[in-house]
Chain A
Amino acid sequence: MIFLAEGMAKAALGRYWRKSPDLRAKQLLSWRRSAVIAAGERPLPCGLLPRSPLSPFLLVTRGLGAEFRVPSPALHWVPGGCGSLAWAGAEAQGTDPRAPARPLLARTPARPRLANCARGADKRPVRHARSLDLSCSSTRLGAPLFRLPALLTLGPPPMEEEQAYLELYLDQCAAQDDLAPPRSLLLSPVVPDDGYIPNTSNSETVFNSHLEEVKASGHFSSVDLSFLPDELTQENKDQSVIRSKQDIEENCETPGQQSRMLLPREQDVGLGLISGSTLLNSHSQVYPGDADPVQPSPEKPNCTPLMSITPMTPVTPVSECSGIVPQLQNIVSTVNLACKLDLKKIALHAKNAEYNPKRFAAVIMRIREPRTTALIFSSGKMVCTGAKSEEQSRLAARKYARVVQKLGFPARFLDFKIQNMVGSCDVRFPIRLEGLVLTHQQFSSYEPELFPGLIYRMVKPRIVLLIFVSGKVVLTGAKERSEIYEAFENIYPILKGFKKA
């Protein structure tokens, strides 16, 4: 355990704040790294992204300084290290007025986020973040206190707000953590799949993961991740790293898990990365967050004892897997706005809306961010297509709902459901489809004169794969992201068997 003497902590903070933003970012990361190395403990569940750059530090200095007994200099300041990323993120984000606007969160600005925070009890941080119904635990994460087992004697922080945060945090910890050694592991940021994705705000989580990534790429300044477009390269990197753990994580499923994410933690974090950049709200973390907050924790220690030393170093896959992660290309979702709509009025007043009642009985509306198309029917049902991730789809659907709402209809947002997900990837070797169709006759159909790809109907999970000679694989028919990954992992060894030299 690493401790910082209170005075030293303050001095370190002072030095920190005197630096330029870039240097600060670097410092935070190095703290974090050392914290990871030294503590080998899991970061505590983190709160929401702090709003103001200063507030987390206030919390830290006053709260932590008072509470923590830290023996070594700043380098080993675990809490700071852990939260640093969040703060760094906060810094960068603090300047960004576009930070996810969550009214509740605004009141509690200083909630530094930990990379790899253990998930709070809030299982659906994202989803609720938008609605004012932020789950207590997530909102109350507050204090940038990480669950360092023996390290932290959490007494009430001197300041009221810190006290509030601390209490929130403690509540969250208590709620979420049934495990005996809740903070046994400090997961490496790179392998967040240890399952501790902060369930609070996905932007933060994303932020964290992104921070890791960003740090890896060395561009720490471009931190306002929630608004970044999906960075596929980073995604791939993360995902491939993360996916390596997929098998391990497969069984870690939260019963309370909402819909889609049965992904192993790694996936979630990776997903967080993917979605984070496009997330404007907390939704993105649904699935990352959805990774069971509680269950994985006990398993986590067993699965991944001590993560790599540098946060950015990818962890070698434990199990054999393809190392390729399918990218989601399209997500079709439906939602019920629960009110009758006057399509003509919508078409007249809304931008980017087409309505041709003779051709089709719905308004076709498009928005640019996320780039999607929606079909809005007069019954109030809406279909949203074109998003590249679950969170984007949900966000886009919400945007359309808001448009409808602004036009004066009492639109609600009921039964949001993802109907279909399409993913694609490339195995990078040519495949001999004739062999495949012969050996897997019951599942595959191949009529090259009709369609150049082989259509493979996988039974479990129920996914249709289009396999092409070039090695490209398209997967469709999934209701959850995990199905796509699972299907690809199932087909990959088969495809390897028919590799055309």
Chain B
Amino acid sequence: MNNTAASPMSTATSSSGRSAGKSISFAAELQSMMFSLGDARRPLHETAVLVEDVVHTQLINLLQQAAEVSQLRGARVISAEDLLFLMRKDKKKLRRLLKYMFFRDYKSKIIKGIDEDDLPEDKLSGSSNTNKRQKIAQDFLNSIDQTGELLAMFEDDEVDEVKQERMERAERQTRIMDSAQYAEFCESRQLSFSKKASKFRDWLDCGGMEIKPNVVAMEILAYLAYETVAQLVDLALLVRQDMVTKAGDPFSHAISATFIQYHSSAESAAACGGEAHSDAIQPCHIREAIRRYGHKIGPLSPFTSAHRRNGMAFLAC
């Protein structure tokens, strides 16, 4: 199925059999998440539904590929290594994932130190938990690294531009809020797929799979789902900015998306045909973003990589 061809198609194909009786929906959570990632105060429901579909499709595909890799290895569960393997091509995203894993380890370490009630249990489990994700990642990358690039990522301290941009956007967004709005914003930011682990599992229908992901793999999947949503919002904002035609400004396309979005929300209302919630991201933006993302430009584009085997470019990796 070629999801990038036409997004309406994708919704049909991906959610075939599911949209009718789909009991599990993350639409509400997604709306909050999109708000925290830069969308308007009340993102559109249609947009949330579309985003959910896209994320769902991508995750299912990712799981299938990971299951294949697992089988190749002869393992019985999908583990973190398989997902890392799938992501090996995109350095930046891999680095972001690694940083996330390390942060998780670090945070558990600190919380352990603070919460004395945990002490006996913590000692019981020994130091096996500390940095376990880091160890997994390091060992695995060590084993597949041929050129040393992957291992270099551990020491790499470059600024993650995408993350930087997201931080700046959030900062700008929060600067103008008052405390009540900011409290809501913070709560939205704290939403994640990992908080609703069981719902997430059911949503992905992990029970129906032959090879199931283990705990760390589920964490990574939740993170990737979140990353996908974030990417979609980033790209949609960019698209929306492009849609705004500023008279007389030849460089309007070149200005940073985040900057424009902040300043031209009023104008985008007019440009988008005066839709009701002009601030919010429209489904059309999302579709356009996906289309552009999958559209490889260049002389060799018809012959590019295995990513397109399934016809869909993963947003998260």
Q: Is B136 an interface residue (CB 8 A)?
A: no
Number of CB contacts from chain A to chain B under 8 A: 93
Per the bound structure, the CA–CA distance linking A460 and B88 in Å amounts to 37
User: Which residues of A (442-481) have their CB < 8 Å from a CB of B?
Assistant: 445, 447-452, 455, 464, 466, 469, 474, 476-477
Of the listed residues A360, A364, A450, A500, the one surrounded by the most CB atoms of chain B closer than 10 A to its CB is A450
How far, in Å, is A426 (CB) from chain B's closest CB?
15
Per the bound structure, the CA–CA distance linking A392 and B167 in Å amounts to 43
| Chain A residues near B104 (CB-CB < 8 A) | 450
Stretch of B184-192, B208-216, B236-244 that contacts chain A: B184-192
Q: Is B116 an interface residue (CB 8 A)?
A: yes
How far, in Å, is B157 (CB) from chain A's closest CB?
9
Given contacts A364-B120, A451-B107, contact A437 B167 (CB under 8 A): yes
Of the listed residues A386, A445, A451, the one surrounded by the most CB atoms of chain B closer than 10 A to its CB is A451
Per the bound structure, the CA–CA distance linking A476 and B179 in Å amounts to 28
| Chain B residues near A362 (CB-CB < 8 A) | 123
- Is A477 within 8 A of B103, CB to CB? no
How far, in Å, is B115 (CB) from chain A's closest CB?
8
| Chain A residues near B28 (CB-CB < 8 A) | none
Q: Is B254 an interface residue (CB 8 A)?
A: no
Given contacts A445-B103, A447-B103, A474-B114, contact A434 B170 (CB under 8 A): yes
- Is A477 within 8 A of B179, CB to CB? no
Per the bound structure, the CA–CA distance linking A373 and B173 in Å amounts to 46
Chain A residue with minimal CB distance to B182? A500
Per the bound structure, the CA–CA distance linking A291 and B122 in Å amounts to 36
| Chain A residues near B106 (CB-CB < 8 A) | 445, 455
- Is A375 within 8 A of B167, CB to CB? no
Chain B residue with minimal CB distance to A331? B116
Q: Is A149 an interface residue (CB 8 A)?
A: no
- Is A360 within 8 A of B124, CB to CB? yes
Per the bound structure, the CA–CA distance linking A416 and B36 in Å amounts to 48
Q: Is B174 an interface residue (CB 8 A)?
A: yes
Chain B residue with minimal CB distance to A435? B171
Contact partner, A434, options B110, B114, B174, B191, Cβ 8 Å: B174
Per the bound structure, the CA–CA distance linking A265 and B247 in Å amounts to 68
User: Which residues of B (195-217) have their CB < 8 Å from a CB of A?
Assistant: 195
| Chain B residues near A422 (CB-CB < 8 A) | 113-114
Q: Is A368 an interface residue (CB 8 A)?
A: no
Of the listed residues B113, B159, B195, the one surrounded by the most CB atoms of chain A closer than 10 A to its CB is B113
Per the bound structure, the CA–CA distance linking A420 and B119 in Å amounts to 13
- Is A449 within 8 A of B123, CB to CB? no
| Chain B residues near A330 (CB-CB < 8 A) | 114, 116
Given contacts A373-B119, A385-B119, contact A452 B113 (CB under 8 A): no
Contact partner, A450, options B107, B113, B167, B168, Cβ 8 Å: B107
- Is A476 within 8 A of B113, CB to CB? yes
- Is B110 within 8 A of A501, CB to CB? no
- Is B190 within 8 A of A448, CB to CB? yes
How far, in Å, is A141 (CB) from chain B's closest CB?
37
| Chain A residues near B195 (CB-CB < 8 A) | 449
Given contacts A330-B114, A438-B171, A447-B103, contact A452 B120 (CB under 8 A): no
Contact partner, B191, options A449, A451, A474, A476, Cβ 8 Å: A449
- Is A332 within 8 A of B116, CB to CB? yes
- Is B110 within 8 A of A375, CB to CB? no
| Chain B residues near A402 (CB-CB < 8 A) | none
- Is A452 within 8 A of B190, CB to CB? yes
Per the bound structure, the CA–CA distance linking A362 and B186 in Å amounts to 42
Contact partner, B116, options A360, A386, A438, A474, Cβ 8 Å: A386
Chain B residue with minimal CB distance to A387? B116
- Is A375 within 8 A of B123, CB to CB? yes
| Chain A residues near B22 (CB-CB < 8 A) | none
Chain A residue with minimal CB distance to B192? A449
How far, in Å, is B260 (CB) from chain A's closest CB?
19
How far, in Å, is A150 (CB) from chain B's closest CB?
53
Contact partner, B182, options A430, A437, A445, A452, Cβ 8 Å: A430
| Chain B residues near A364 (CB-CB < 8 A) | 120
- Is B178 within 8 A of A435, CB to CB? no
Contact partner, B113, options A420, A447, A449, Cβ 8 Å: A420
Contact partner, B124, options A359, A450, A452, A476, Cβ 8 Å: A359
Chain A residue with minimal CB distance to B110? A464
Q: Is A432 an interface residue (CB 8 A)?
A: yes
Contact partner, A455, options B110, B113, B192, Cβ 8 Å: B110
Contact partner, A501, options B168, B173, B178, B190, Cβ 8 Å: B178
- Is A449 within 8 A of B110, CB to CB? no
| Chain B residues near A464 (CB-CB < 8 A) | 110
| Chain A residues near B171 (CB-CB < 8 A) | 432, 434-435, 438
Per the bound structure, the CA–CA distance linking A181 and B107 in Å amounts to 53
How far, in Å, is B246 (CB) from chain A's closest CB?
27
Chain A residue with minimal CB distance to B166? A434
How far, in Å, is B57 (CB) from chain A's closest CB?
22
| Chain B residues near A451 (CB-CB < 8 A) | 107, 111
Q: Is B26 an interface residue (CB 8 A)?
A: no
Q: Is B175 an interface residue (CB 8 A)?
A: yes
- Is B192 within 8 A of A438, CB to CB? no
- Is B189 within 8 A of A449, CB to CB? yes
How far, in Å, is A444 (CB) from chain B's closest CB?
10
Q: Is B194 an interface residue (CB 8 A)?
A: yes
- Is A430 within 8 A of B183, CB to CB? yes
Of the listed residues A430, A434, A448, the one surrounded by the most CB atoms of chain B closer than 10 A to its CB is A434
Per the bound structure, the CA–CA distance linking A385 and B192 in Å amounts to 33
A-B contact pairs, 5 of them (CB 8 A): A364-B120, A375-B120, A432-B174, A432-B182, A501-B178
Interface residues of A (CB under 8 A from B): 329-330, 332, 359-360, 362, 364, 373, 375, 383, 385-386, 420, 422, 430, 432-435, 437-438, 441, 445, 447-452, 455, 464, 466, 469, 474, 476-477, 500-501
Given A359-B124, A474-B114, 13 more pairs with CB closer than 8 A: A329-B114, A375-B119, A375-B120, A375-B123, A434-B174, A435-B174, A437-B167, A438-B167, A438-B168, A445-B106, A450-B107, A464-B110, A469-B182
A-B pairs, 5 with minimum CB distance? A449-B192, A448-B189, A360-B124, A434-B171, A434-B170
